[in-house]
Structures are given as C-alpha cells and as structure tokens.
Amino acid sequence: MRVLVVEDEPKLAQYLHQGLSENGYVVDVARDGIEGRRLATGGSYDLMLLDVMLPGVDGYGVLAALRAEDSKTPVLMLTARDKIEDRVKGLEGGADDYLVKPFAFSELLARMGALLRRGAFASPQAATVLRLADLEVDLVSRRCTRGAQRLDLTAKEFNLLALLTRRRGQILSRTTLAEQVWDMHFDSDTNVVEVAVRRLRAKLDDPFPTRLLHTVRGMGYVLEERAA
C-alpha cells in the first residue's frame, strides 16, 4: 500500500519513512504544504499522514484541496496541538482521524489499519483482501495464503505479490515493479527484480500444481490463472 507523509520536521519524517517502509508500505514524503498538496491531489495513495503546521500551506489547506477534488483517500492528521477545537477543525474539514504528537508508533500503525479497513468497508473497490484462484492476500494483516497453506513472505515479497495481485491480469514491467515496490528507478544492471520474482515464485507456485506468476518475455510479469 502506498502512503503519503506530509511532515516538515526532518527527524520525524525520516522516522516515519523508515518505520512504515519496514512494515511494508511504499512511502512518499513531502516536507512542506505546497509539495504535499501537489502530491496529494496528483497522486494515488491508499492513505495520507498529514501534519497540521506546515510551511507554505498548512495541513488544513492541503486537506481542503484534497477534499475539493472529491478524493476519498483516508487522512490521519498529526499535530502537537491537543485542543479540542483544533481536532474538531480537522475532522470537520474532512480528516478521518487525529493523532497528537508525541505518539507511539504501534498506535499509529493500529490507527492506519483501522482507517484502511474502514475505507474498504465503505468502498468495495478498495477491498483490502484480494483473491485470485486459491490465493488470498490480506493487505491489512499482511497475511498470504494459498489453499490452506500460509505463505511465509518477506516484506518486499509481500509488497511484490500485493502489487501483482491488485493488478492481476496486467503485465507489469521490471521498471514498474522497481518503482512501486522498491521506490527506485530501474537500472538495467540491477537484477533485484528478477531475484525477488524468483524467490516469490518458489513460495507461491513451486509447492502447488497450478502456476499463477508468469513471465512474459521482453515485457515483464503477470499474475493470472491460466487454463491448463
């Protein structure tokens, strides 16, 4: 899942980027309100963490621009302000939740999970449990099963499988996979994608009679159920 963090305090921004990345999220960071507004209104994110006090445009302004486009992206506002009127202002402006600094990272993850589940309930197209044949990928609990067997995946393998499952039936290039899963520009001399696909295939397909992950020569990879 892709998360936008809009936070101008460098240490906190780095902390959030690292912690969320380690928990399997693909993270973009904006360090001011102007950049945050541009990314929020021009990108496609599953969730946004939005600081209130920002240079350029404050968090309320970023939120207003997002909601003006009728975006349903869940927004969790982060602020050092703990006054009720500040929280009410954010919630009335379209925020989905509010977390006062300083906060425990475990609570942040729990609130994010709750927002993602709530969004999936309200909007079926944003389902957090993806299925293909006997494969099931739970994006919130980060569990994968095939048949009755749980797949023991690393964080990157999970992210790779989640992306392929969300876009099942579509051929995804190595460049797309590198950008979306590793947040890096693809280098033709780097075999990180091929290695990850090989390891994922060993867990996803090798123990089972039917293959789901296919290589399309010269184009990339596709996850789909094919007739025998």
Mean pLDDT by 10 residues, the chain (228 residues): 91 91 84 94 89 93 92 90 76 89 90 79 58 90 91 91 89 84 64 92 95 93 86
Domains by residue range for the chain, with CATH: 2-124 (3.40.50.2300), 129-223 (1.10.10.10)
Q: Give pLDDT, residue 187.
A: 57
Q: Which long-range contacts (C-beta less than 8 Å, at least 24 apart) are formed by 197-202?
A: 197/160, 197/221, 199/154, 199/157, 200/153, 200/157, 200/160, 200/161
pTM of the entire predicted model: 0.63
Q: Give pLDDT, residue 177.
A: 86
Give the torsion sign (CA, 83, 88, 90, 95). Answer: positive
Q: Give pLDDT, residue 189.
A: 58
